Amino acid sequence: MISRMNSTKAIIAGIIFIIVATLLIQLAYLFVAVGYNSLEKDYPFLKEISGIFRYLVAIPVFIGVMFVGGYITAAIAKSKTLSRTLMHCMVVGVVTIGGTMWLALENANLTLTGIIVNTLMMLATITGGLWFRKTAN
């Protein structure tokens, strides 16, 4: 019974961390975007690199958040087996990435970039859980 409670707590904690951290990052991004847009008026070359800038900053940050979410999930679950750790992290990854895709795809189509980023985010979540297992032993 305690194991199931730890599993549920771990999954919920991982999901909540990822959602809250992502929302805070998006809020910070809004502030940065406002400043960036005002700089574009004085420096036109910034308009040309805005898309690249977004990807260079956003993707590593979101991958980092997913990694920490997987780490937190594994730390709370304290699974004895590798397969249980992977299962916990995959559930957290699927729920958070699925929620993101559901919201994003209301008004858009899934692109190759989206598939690659979502795959990287899932791998980051699993890697976070594996990193906890490696450092905890």
* Tokens of residue 72, six digits: 């937190």
61-111 per-position pLDDT tens digit: 999 999 999 999 999 998 888 999 999 999 999 999 988 877 766 667 778
* Sequence-separated (6 or more) residues with CB below 8 Å from residue 99: 19
CA 110 to chain centre: 17
Tokens 């420096």 found at: 43
Q: What whole-number distance in Å separates Cα of residue 75 and Cα of residue 127?
A: 13
Judged on CB neighbours under 10 Å (0-12, 13-18, 19+), 78 is: middle
Predicted pLDDT at 126? 96
Q: What whole-number distance in Å separates Cα of residue 55 and Cα of residue 73?
A: 26
Q: Is the pLDDT of residue 1 over 60?
A: no
Domain ranges of the chain: 2-136
In the predicted model, what is the mean pLDDT of the chain?
Answer: 86
Tokens 């304290």 found at: 78
Output Rg (C-alpha) for the chain, integer angstroms: 17
Predicted pLDDT at 122? 95
Predicted pLDDT at 125? 96
